Amino acid sequence: MRLLAALIAVLSQSTATLGSETLTCSTSFQGYRICSSPDGYTSTEWEWQDRTIGQDSDGNRWTTSRWRATTISAVTSPR
């Protein structure tokens, strides 16, 4: 899941200047992983039927699943 959070951080920088941006993440008791940055960016990930599903405040959505020895990821962007 850390890889996905890093991927989302990179996607969110498409409208921001290049540089580092601090993401603060936590996991709720229901299992949702929620990340946010000081400038208002947020992302949420959760597990469902062996998949990681997520969405962010920029309208991006993604899923990641494993099939045999392969990781399959799909990202949908509103732009």
Query: What is the chain's alpha carbon radius of gyration, rounded to the nearest angstrom?
Result: 13
Pick from 79, 58, 54, 56: nearest CA to 16? 58
Residue 64 belongs to a domain = yes
pLDDT of residue 14: 46
CB 62 within 8 A of CB 56: no
**pLDDT per residue as tens digits for the range 33-78:** 999 999 999 999 999 998 999 999 999 999 999 888 999 999 999 8
User: Does this model's pTM top 0.75?
Assistant: no
> Per-residue pLDDT for 5 more than 80?
no
DSSP state of 31: S
If pLDDT is split at 50, 70 and 90, which confidence band does 10 have?
very low
Residue 7 belongs to a domain = yes
The domain of 45 spans 2-13+23-76
Domain count, the chain: 1
Residue 18 belongs to a domain = no
Residue 47 belongs to a domain = yes
> Per-residue pLDDT for 12 more than 70?
no
